[in-house]
Amino acid sequence: MRLNPRKIVTAATATALAAALPVTVAMSKGDAQGSELSGTSTSNAQVFSAAARPMEDMDGPIYGDGDLTAFDAIEEIGEDQSAYVPYCDNRATLTATLNHDFAEVQRVNQPIDQNRSVELWASDVMGTWTAVYNRADGVACVVSSGTGWEHQDSPLALLETEEILPARS
């Protein structure tokens, strides 16, 4: 049996990204000693501090069945955020990072109510994907991310499987 070097490199890259993505995208700066939340409002801490990292799926998604309103309460964005709050930033900054750092491109933009939408960004090169929630105020938040994306995958089906969008009837 002959091993395909491209598949080995792709698998190694995906594994490395799976470890790096939460650190690079989902976390932002904390205080100098890392022991206390820096710049986090009480409401954000109450909503998101139950898990060690906000993107961990401890007891099911915090936004279960398409309810993304918890992300609307996040007031700090970008470098002002605590490490215990899902990563949010101006949409242009966040999507430029996804494209530059992970070679991800937008696969779908699904409008939801009140001038909000959910996008799926994915990379055929790296095999990564990122679900992004766009708030009405122009702020975008990383809702979920993963590896194993393949070009023929359905972006809407992935968003439904991850319970970011409600399943279609």
pLDDT tens-digit map of 15-55: 444 444 444 444 433 333 333 333 444 444 444 544 333 44
- CB distance 18 to 10 below 8 Å: no
Q: What is the per-residue pLDDT for 17?
A: 44
Q: How many domains does the chain have?
A: 1
Structural domain includes residue 60:
yes
CA–CA separation, 91 vs 138, rounded Å? 6
Domain residue limits at 59? 5-161
Structural domain includes residue 167:
no
CA–CA separation, 59 vs 129, rounded Å? 22
pTM: 0.64
Structural domain includes residue 23:
yes
Amino acid occupying residue 123: S
CA–CA separation, 48 vs 44, rounded Å? 6
